[in-house]
Structure 1
Amino acid sequence: MKKILALCVFVLGLAFTTQVSAQTTEIEKKAHIKTEELRRTVKFNDEQKAQVYEVLQKYYNYLNRPNANESDFEMRKQKITAFVDEKLKAVLNEDQFAKFKQVKL
């Protein structure tokens, strides 16, 4: 009986770990794709690329959190968009930031 219970706990733990890993991979993939898209449009260097990628990972991770309702999601999206603007304004020059603002996240 103890072995069956231990096996069930192990399988549930493995399933949860796999799901979290898949979400992380999806977030990284989205951030990478968007960073490359922005690199073609905004034309930033490798150092800026790494910083933009990091900011976009935080953006997608924050948006991926479960939310209670639709109005909460819109409020969270406005909040994280302001965060992204603030961080990228520090990373990009004025011309690059203006090009970034024309591209939709």
Structure 2
Amino acid sequence: MKKIITLCLFVFAMFLGTDSANAQSNKIEVNAKAAEKTEALHKFLKFDDEQKEKVYLAVQEYTQATLDLEKAEVVKEGAVEKIKLLLEDKMKAILTEEQFERYQSFQEE
């Protein structure tokens, strides 16, 4: 009986460890994508370091939200558009008017 309980606990611990590893992998993936996109925007828009940090955080949040939507079983209609609008609003607040216009042309490419 003790062996069965030990085996069950071991299997349960393995499931917990797998979920934790997947979560860490997702976070690394999100951070890498956000850093890559931020760097591309930095080269294109030429913003300062303070703006760069804010842009990174906005892109990181957007990337995490889109990844969560991809994994969701049920997605509300308009959720993708809402996330895009939230990113656009944040970028508009962070960037100058000229930079934001260039950002919009960058998004269209």
TM-score between both structures, scaled by the size of structure 1: 0.90
For the 8 Å contact 1:63–1:76, the answer to whether it is kept is no
CA distance in 2, matches of 1:3, 1:75: 47
Equivalence for 2:72: 67
CA distance in 2, matches of 1:41, 1:3: 57
Equivalence for 1:90: 93
For the 8 Å contact 1:67–1:73, the answer to whether it is kept is no
Counterpart residue type for residue 42 of structure 1 = L
Matching residue within 86, 100, 104 for 1:101: 104
TM-superposed CA distance for 1:104, in Å, is 2.1
TM-superposed CA distance for 1:32, in Å, is 0.3
Percent identity of the aligned residues? Answer: 26
TM-score between both structures, scaled by the size of structure 2: 0.87
Equivalence for 1:37: 40
Q: What stretches of structure 1 move > 4 A for 4+ residues in a row?
A: none
CA distance in 2, matches of 1:73, 1:31: 24
CA distance in 1, matches of 2:34, 2:105: 18
CA distance in 2, matches of 1:73, 1:41: 33
Question: What do residues 2-36 of structure 1 show as CA deviations (whole Å, max 9, x unaligned)?
Answer: 21111111111001100111111111110000000
Question: What do residues 66-99 of structure 1 show as CA deviations (whole Å, max 9, x unaligned)?
Answer: 2346xx4772221111101111111111011111
Consecutive unaligned residues in structure 1, runs of 5 or more: none
TM-superposed CA distance for 1:103, in Å, is 1.1
Equivalence for 1:14: 17
Name the SS of the counterpart of 1:103 in structure 2: helix
